[in-house]
Amino acid sequence: EEAKRIAHTLHDEAAQLLASVHIALDALARDLPQSMRSRLEEVRDLLDRIEGELRRLSHELRPTMLDDLGLVPALQFLAEGVAKRTGLSVEVRGSTHGRLPPAVETALYRIVQEALTNAVRHAHPAHVKIQVQREARAVRCSVADDGVGFDAATALAHRGGPGLGLVGIRERLDPLRGSLQITSSPGCGTRVHVAVPLEG
């Protein structure tokens, strides 16, 4: 709870405050003579460094949440942040019924993060649904959006294409012997589904 609160504060409120300071500085710059503006630039550079530092800290806290609380709470936190930033509705459902091996938790977290980022960047959806499902010998995870969709087969075959995201998802799954399935077609939204086998 404490880590969550701190990460929230860093990420949202401090970033919001810094944005307000930038706006105030812009207004100030307009009223200042040219000679003074370069000194204002120095202040801006310092602010940018603070911002970078805060981002680094809140990113450091995020894996801590994953370690401390597990996959679903960490995904809930991720989803809340994205929803707040973008205004989209992002829903997280399901349970892992206890903790998963750390390598599996980390891989699934990063995969959902990439799929969610893709949905926000490329799909223009109204709603994104993240589902986690624990089975006897596997864990399944899906990210579904109701956006524009794309030709997934072509995008996957097209290595060295525009992005590294989907390739990265595959690479995270390989050492875990996991599988990836993308169901999408133009106009019908996208569902990225991964399954990772569990020992025992």
Contact positions toward ligand ATP, by CB under 6 A? 118-119, 121-123, 145, 147-150, 155, 162-166, 190
Provide CB contacts within 8 A for 116, sequence distance 6+: 78, 79, 82, 90, 128, 130, 143
**Residue 155, binding choice from Mg ion, ligand ATP, none, Cβ under 5 to 8 Å by partner class:** ligand ATP
Q: Residue 142, interface with Mg ion (CB under 5 A)?
A: no
Neighbour tally for 93: CB within 10 Å: 12
Q: Residue 165, interface with Mg ion (CB under 5 A)?
A: yes
What phi and psi, each to the nearest 5 degrees, are found at residue 70?
100, 175
Place of tokens 């997280």: 92
Q: Residue 163, interface with Mg ion (CB under 5 A)?
A: yes
CA pair distance 138, 67, nearest whole angstrom = 20
Q: Indicate the residue among 162 and 175 with the shorter CB distance to ligand ATP.
A: 162
Q: Residue 168, interface with Mg ion (CB under 5 A)?
A: no
Q: Which of 4, 75, 115, 118 binds Mg ion (CB under 5 A)?
A: 118
Which stretch in 13-21, 113-121, 129-137, 143-151 sits in contact with Mg ion by CB under 5 A?
113-121
Q: Encoding tokens for residue 110?
A: 């990063």
Say if residues 151 and 190 touch (Cβ distance below 8 Å). no
Binding site for Mg ion (CB under 5 A): 118, 163, 165
